[in-house]
């Protein structure tokens, strides 16, 4: 399944509790249609103690967010843009910004 978002992209959240926040994609799950964005969709996870010496704790970490709620930010204009695919000079499909027409 081809996605418009890849690891390392700067994205803006379109809806939900973190609406209008920006972050960098750290991991993408194509089969589930979700991605993990740095600092977005933070959840608390309760950990049991594993040995007698360690304590249980509560850890905050990023949870996956639906890719449909994310939009790639164009690096030249620093604004969100839709993504398309077209062939470059070498004949390979490459992502491009639909606002500016530049390759990403």
pLDDT number for residue 52: 77
90 vs 52: which has the higher pLDDT: 90
Do 19 and 62 sit in the same domain of this protein? yes
Do 4 and 24 sit in the same domain of this protein? yes
Do 22 and 59 sit in the same domain of this protein? yes
Dihedral, CA atoms, 86, 101, 22, 2, nearest 10 degrees? -10
Supply the range of the domain harboring residue 85: 76-104
Q: Is 99 exposed, middle or buried (0-12, 13-18, 19+ CB in 10 A)?
A: middle
Do 87 and 52 sit in the same domain of this protein? no
* Total domains in the fold of the chain: 2
51 vs 49: which has the higher pLDDT: 49
pLDDT number for residue 51: 79
Task: State mean pLDDT over 28-35.
Answer: 95
Do 68 and 81 sit in the same domain of this protein? no
Task: State mean pLDDT over 89-102.
Answer: 91
The answer to whether residue 1 scores a pLDDT higher than 70 is no
Integer Cα distance of 28 and 58 in angstroms: 25
The reported pTM is: 0.82
């Amino acid at each position: 399944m081809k996605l418009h978002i890849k690891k390392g992209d700067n994205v803006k959240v379109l809806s939900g509790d973190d609406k209008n926040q920006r972050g960098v994609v750290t991991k993408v799950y194509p089969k589930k249609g979700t991605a993990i964005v740095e600092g977005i969709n933070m959840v608390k996870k309760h950990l049991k103690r594993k040995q007698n010496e360690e304590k249980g704790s509560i850890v905050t970490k990023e949870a996956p967010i639906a890719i449909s709620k994310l939009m790639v930010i164009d690096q030249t204009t620093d604004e969100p843009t839709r993504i398309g695919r077209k062939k470059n000079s070498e004949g390979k499909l490459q992502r491009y910004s639909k606002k500016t027409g530049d390759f990403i």
